């Protein structure tokens, strides 16, 4: 019964990357329940080793997230203590932070180690991801052409502000085009990395199908940031030696993508940057506003959630519209909400990511590419506050670690087999 539940969760985990984040939270609850039941069941030696190796490798990130949560909590408490802040709004905002960061992380941390045991459950995930990637791709193609918005009803159509250059900016089943774009850029890089690293043929095939589907979705998305970030991520993922060795294929692929992009207008929104005010992009205004918020509330920030009137006043002071009151920069957003105290916690988490990556062998370059995609996206979008993106990053990071653990376990098994064989032949092994 437990094995069936694990298989179901591994399949649904692939599905959760394409829909609103509630499905990811629901799976987190199931993972905690399974973990509670599993404590009363015996574990095989290989399970014990894989669980220890997986959780030990991620221990630094886990500790950094706890520090991050504590420092942000301290900022909220200090902001409330200084007065003028709505305690309910502060608490609500901080609880949201906890749910999508440490709570989500430790729920998946308690379960995903299972994907490193011979990779069987990870292979189920890969096929689930491939299937739902194709479903998402076909839906996005239809959405780009006709504006379908099925998350709001089968008769719903995307609003007019999503219509650009004679096509709709797609959001898939997520609800926001940038959430989709950055999640798919991350998925493309991570899935390619997993395909390179795994050794089972059909798992490789599934990862590559999902990666190509994600690549096409980013191309047709009409979102400039994800397209640029994906390009940089792919250049990081592929060593120059590999590109040089296969330069003919590389040139052919790049030229094909460029011709398709020009033909079907995949990159048309880059042309808007030459128009007045960067084609309607207000990021410079958002950055200026949130920089002033950060400097005026340097130590503890203005608090998460609420403070609508205060943020509006900053926008109105520079003569800008206050319809969209988000920083479009994850670092400025955290700085404005939690102050320098919160940024110290965020810096600890980023440092832990890099320390994790540099401690890996098989997937070191892949992990660095995933981190780079995330950090570059954070400069132009609140991806580190986006629940869908935080879920995706958590999943892909942990999947890469399962590949590293599985490779280590397989190497250990091969050494043991060789030693046993030599011992049976009468050769002393030292």
As averages over each run of 10 residues, the pLDDT of the chain (430 residues) reads 86 93 94 89 88 95 98 92 79 93 96 85 93 96 92 89 83 91 96 92 94 94 89 86 63 66 56 49 86 93 79 85 85 95 98 97 95 96 95 97 86 52 51
Say what the pLDDT of residue 279 is. Answer: 44
Is 429 part of a structural domain of the chain? no
* Encoded tokens for 264: 């079907």
Is 397 part of a structural domain of the chain? yes
Is 272 part of a structural domain of the chain? yes
Q: Smallest Cα–Cα separation from 324: which of 261, 281, 377?
A: 281
Range of the domain at 9: 2-38+52-414
Is 332 part of a structural domain of the chain? yes
Please tell me the distance from the alpha carbon of residue 403 to that of residue 191, in angstroms, as a whole number: 12
Assess contact for 350 and 375: CB atoms under 8 A: yes
Radius of gyration for the alpha carbons in the chain, expressed in angstroms and rounded: 23
Is 428 part of a structural domain of the chain? no
Please tell me the distance from the alpha carbon of residue 133 to that of residue 147, in angstroms, as a whole number: 19
Is 419 part of a structural domain of the chain? no
pTM over 0.85: yes
Is 46 part of a structural domain of the chain? no
In the chain, how many domains are there? 1
Is 430 part of a structural domain of the chain? no
């Amino acid at each position: 019964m437990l094995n069936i539940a694990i298989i179901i969760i591994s399949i649904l985990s692939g599905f959760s990357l394409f829909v609103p984040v509630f499905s990811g939270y629901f799976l987190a609850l199931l993972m905690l329940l399974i973990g509670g039941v599993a404590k009363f069941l015996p574990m095989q030696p290989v399970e014990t080793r894989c669980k220890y190796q997986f959780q030990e490798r991620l221990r630094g990130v886990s500790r950094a997230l706890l520090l991050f949560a504590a420092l942000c909590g301290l900022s909220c408490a200090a902001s409330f203590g200084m007065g003028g802040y709505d305690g309910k709004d502060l608490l609500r905002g901080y609880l949201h932070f906890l749910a999508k960061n440490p709570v989500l992380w430790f729920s998946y941390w308690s379960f995903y180690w299972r994907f490193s045991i011979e990779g069987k459950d990870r292979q189920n995930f890969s096929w689930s991801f491939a299937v739902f990637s194709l479903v998402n791709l076909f839906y996005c193609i239809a959405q780009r052409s006709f504006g379908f918005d099925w998350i709001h009803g089968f008769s719903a159509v995307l609003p007019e502000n999503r219509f650009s250059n004679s096509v709709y900016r797609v959001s898939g089943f997520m609800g926001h085009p940038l959430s989709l774009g950055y999640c798919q850029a991350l998925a493309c890089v991570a899935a390619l990395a997993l395909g390179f690293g795994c050794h089972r043929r059909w798992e490789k095939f599934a990862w590559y199908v999902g990666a190509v589907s994600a690549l096409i979705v980013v191309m047709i998305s009409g979102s400039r940031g994800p397209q640029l970030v994906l390009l940089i991520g792919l250049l990081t993922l592929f060593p120059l030696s590999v590109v040089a060795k296969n330069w003919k294929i590389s040139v052919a692929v790049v030229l094909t993508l460029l011709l398709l992009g020009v033909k079907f207008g995949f990159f048309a929104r880059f042309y808007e940057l030459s128009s007045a005010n960067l084609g309607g992009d207000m990021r410079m205004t958002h950055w200026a506003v949130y920089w002033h918020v950060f400097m005026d509330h340097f130590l503890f920030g203005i608090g998460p959630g609420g403070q609508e009137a205060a943020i509006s006043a900053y926008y109105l002071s520079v003569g800008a519209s206050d319809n969209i009151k988000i920083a479009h920069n994850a670092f400025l957003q955290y700085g404005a909400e939690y102050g320098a105290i919160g940024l110290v916690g965020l810096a600890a988490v980023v440092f832990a990511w890099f320390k994790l990556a540099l401690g890996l062998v098989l997937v070191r370059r892949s992990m660095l590419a995933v981190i780079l995609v995330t950090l570059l996206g954070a400069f132009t979008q609140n991806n580190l506050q986006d629940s869908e993106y935080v879920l995706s990053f958590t999943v892909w990071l942990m999947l890469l670690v399962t590949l590293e653990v599985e490779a280590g376990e397989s190497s250990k098994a091969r050494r043991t087999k060789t030693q046993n064989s030599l011992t049976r032949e009468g050769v002393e092994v030292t």
